[in-house]
Amino acid sequence: MSDFPRWKYALVVLAMLFGILYALPNAFRPLSAVQVTPNQGAAPADDALRQKVADALVKSHVVAKDVEVQGDHLLATFANADVQKSGADAISALLGDNYTVAFKLQSTVPNWLTSIHANSMPLGLDLQGGVHFLMQVDQSGVLDKLENSYADDIRGQLRDKNIRYESVVRSTVAGQGIVVVLRSDADRSSAADLIAGNSPDLAVTDGPSTGDRFVLYAAIKPTKLRDLSLGTIKQNLATLRNRINALGVSEPLIQQQGEDHIVVELAGVQDPAGAKRLIGATATLEYRPGISKFPDPRAREAAQSGSIPPDANLYYEAGTNEPVLVGKRPIVTGDQLVDASSGVDQQNGTPSVNVTLNASGAAKMQEFTNNNVGKPMAVLLINTEYETSTVDGKVVRTPKTITKVINYANIQSPFGKEFSTNGLGSPKEASDLALLLKSGALAAPMDIVEQYVIGPSLGQENIKKGFDSVMLGLALVLLAAAIYYKLFGLVADIALFFNLLILVAVMSMIGVTLTMPGIAGIVLTLGMAIDANVLICERVREELRNGSTPHAAIHAGYDKAWATILDANVTHLIAALALMTMGTGAIRGFGITLGIGILTSMFTSVVMTHAFTALIHGRRKLKTLSV
Q: What percent of the chain has pLDDT over 70?
A: 85
Instruction: Tell me the per-residue pLDDT of 262-297, one tens digit each, with 9 for 90 and over.
Output: 888 887 665 666 666 666 665 677 889 998 887 788
What is the length of the chain?
A: 627
| Model confidence pTM above 0.85 | no
**Highest-confidence segment of 74-83, 447-456, 544-553:** 74-83
Rounding to the nearest 10 degrees, give the CA dihedral for residues 268, 269, 270, 275: -170
Count CB-CB contacts under 10 A for residue 536: 29
Instruction: Tell me the per-residue pLDDT of 456-499, one tens digit each, with 9 for 90 and over.
Output: 566 667 777 777 887 887 788 788 888 888 888 888 888 888 99
Distances (CA, A) of 236 to 231, 277, 398: 8, 15, 19
Mean pLDDT along residues 33-59? 82
User: 387: helix, coil or strand?
Assistant: strand
Residue 420 and residue 355 in contact, taking contact as beta carbons nearer than 8 Å: yes
Domain(s) of CATH 3.30.1360: residues in the chain: 140-221, 282-425+437-441
Separation CA 254–CA 236 (nearest Å): 10
More confident residue, 139 or 504: 504
**Highest-confidence segment of 81-90, 144-153, 186-195:** 186-195
Sign of the CA dihedral running 483, 489, 490, 496: negative
Identity (one letter) of the amino acid at 369? T
SS3 per residue for 283-314: CEEEEEEEEEECCCHHHHHHHHHCCCCCCEEE
Count CB-CB contacts under 10 A for residue 160: 9
Separation CA 531–CA 606 (nearest Å): 11
**Nearest C-alpha neighbor of 342 from the set 434, 419, 420, 421:** 434
CATH topology classification for 6-25+457-617: Multidrug efflux transporter AcrB transmembrane fold (1.20.1640)
At residue 20 the predicted structure's pLDDT band, cuts being 50, 70 and 90, is very high
pLDDT at 25: 92
Separation CA 567–CA 142 (nearest Å): 51
pLDDT at 491: 86
**Nearest C-alpha neighbor of 268 from the set 105, 100, 415, 507:** 105
Instruction: Tell me the per-residue pLDDT of 306-327, one tens digit each, with 9 for 90 and over.
Output: 888 888 889 988 777 888 999 9
**Nearest C-alpha neighbor of 380 from the set 327, 416, 342:** 327
Which CATH number does the domain 140-221 belong to among 3.30.1360, 3.30.50, 1.10.10, 3.30.70? Answer: 3.30.1360
Instruction: Tell me the per-residue pLDDT of 75-98, one tens digit each, with 9 for 90 and over.
Output: 899 988 778 888 888 888 888 767
Separation CA 588–CA 579 (nearest Å): 6
CATH 3.30.1360 fits 282-425+437-441, yes or no: yes
At residue 505 the predicted structure's pLDDT band, cuts being 50, 70 and 90, is very high
Cis peptide before 295 (omega within 30 of 0): yes
Domain(s) of CATH 1.20.1640.10: residues in the chain: 6-25+457-617
Distances (CA, A) of 75 to 33, 41, 49, 97: 7, 20, 11, 17
Backbone φ and ψ for 99, nearest 5 degrees, come out as: -135, 150
Instruction: Tell me the per-residue pLDDT of 365-423, one tens digit each, with 9 for 90 and over.
Output: 999 999 998 888 888 888 766 555 666 766 565 667 778 887 788 888 888 888 877 76
The DSSP call for residue 60 is: T
Architecture of domain 31-106: 2-Layer Sandwich (3.30)
Sign of the CA dihedral running 70, 72, 77, 81: negative
Q: What percent of the chain has pLDDT over 90?
A: 7
Mean pLDDT along residues 164-185? 83
The two most distant CA atoms of the chain are separated, in Å, by 111
Separation CA 23–CA 41 (nearest Å): 43
Residue 602 and residue 587 in contact, taking contact as beta carbons nearer than 8 Å: no
Residue 84 and residue 34 in contact, taking contact as beta carbons nearer than 8 Å: yes
pLDDT, the chain, mean: 81
